[in-house]
Amino acid sequence: MATTPRMPDTSTLAEPEPADTSEPSDSLVFFGASGDLAFKQIIPALYSMTKRGTLGVPVIGVAYSGWDLDRFKARVKESIDAHGGVDDQAAYDALVASLRYVDGKYEDAATFDALRAALDGAGRPAHYLAIPPGEFATVVEGLGRSGCADAARVIVEKPFGRDLESSRELNDVLHSVFPERAIFRIDHFLGKEEVQNLLYFRFANSFLEPIWNRNYVASVQVTMAEDFGVQGRGAFYDEVGALRDVVQNHLMQVISLLAMEPPVGAGTEAMRDEKEKVFRAMRPLRPEDYVRGQFEGYRDEKGVAADSDVETYAAVKLWIDSWRWGGVPFYIRAGKMLPCTCTEVRVELKAPPQRVFADMEPKLGETNYFRFRINPRVEIALGARSKLAGEVFRGHQTELFLCDAHPEEMAPYERLLHDAMHDERLLFARQDGVEAAWTVVQPVLDDHAPAIPYAPGSWGPEVADALLADHGGWHAPEVDR
């Protein structure tokens, strides 16, 4: 018997909206300006936005690094050089001219007084918290006390808590200063062109609807493989693990796009309503639905505990108790030090009801399927069988290739920053969905088996195959197609 998760508290969603909520932000503040995320993602995104002509407002970096504006500008140049270099001098000059900088401790009221002065009359700032979650409360409260939160938006970087309780605590902190309408929870995975292709493909093609249900779909697999380790982030990763890092957020968001119902009516909230319903229909995980692994050598990484049991590989079996998906298993696996770097969705369709030809013995990879490649490039394909030439009725598996890469696509952070500043909410997580997703994984956050060692370059612990005992095993993505 399936258990039903407690409904998340959605009372905050009905709060009054600030008067200027639909107007574009007239400045962008990002806390953590000297950090890794700023260097690798935010600054390149700001440069791209400037080249496209979609920024055009003051950009204020805030950090406690002993920097001044000149040092901040130098850091911006270093970041751009590391990500392809300056290829549009006018755009680069415009970005540099828009920069301002505030240096100070986040717990110091003087830092926020300096920020208010740097805003110089801007009335609708967007504040991006590119900082550790432990500092969110300090910054949010400082923004509120100083008046910098008035008519402002706040952009919050995942993770949204470590579990259900802490996600609610974080939500309380945010709502102590900002109404729900002004909060944008970034999951950069939703900003990927490839992920948005899932949503578009589902609802822009009428041929899918008759078969996109339990009557025709046998199972769904989502694989997120990385052929590298923690890359110097051992201390962070040892506090998080694969389930919290990518399954509870990135990959469950992908599942929601695959499984959601068509929205009733137009508008962003109608779309988001259907997406969040999927999380509420998911059964909470049981320990037997969850396999944990840890690659050999992980404990030797800097910052990792010598006796760490943190998983670098997670595989789960999900059930969605809805009319459309009742009885269809959804499988997710994610891991580091696997054979390739690739994220792929595979929707396996059921075999034909009768064996008309002798070679129609159904097995994994030799039925109809839809395949969505999310990285390293965009691919949408349909698996089908066709007859080989000759007198004998003998076939082979083929793929009908539908889509390839988009070289001019926006990077996720560019898209998400632009959307947050323009009140476009579709690609952001909503609190009721965040809580419902945590409700699904909450039972196994502490009640689980030990992590099983696996060899780097393998597909993780072999015991994970048992999750798919009735569906032929995991499909291994082919990265050299």
Residues designated as active site = 250
Residue 318, amino acid? L
Which of helix, strand or coil describes residue 409? Answer: coil
What lies within 8 Å, CB to CB, of 155 at 6+ separation is 126, 127, 128, 129, 184, 186, 416, 417, 420
**How far apart, in whole angstroms, are the C-alpha atoms of residue 118 and residue 411?**
28
What lies within 8 Å, CB to CB, of 32 at 6+ separation is 38, 62, 63, 129, 130, 131
293, two tokens = 């692994």
30, two tokens = 């990002």
* Residue 257, H or E segment: helix 252-259
- Compute CA 180 distance to the chain's CA centroid, rounded to the nearest angstrom: 20
**How far apart, in whole angstroms, are the C-alpha atoms of residue 124 and residue 178?**
13
User: Are 150 and 122 spatial neighbours (Cβ–Cβ below 8 Å)?
Assistant: no
Ramachandran sector of residue 349 (left: φ over 0; alpha: ψ -120 to 50; beta: rest)? beta
User: Are 347 and 330 spatial neighbours (Cβ–Cβ below 8 Å)?
Assistant: no
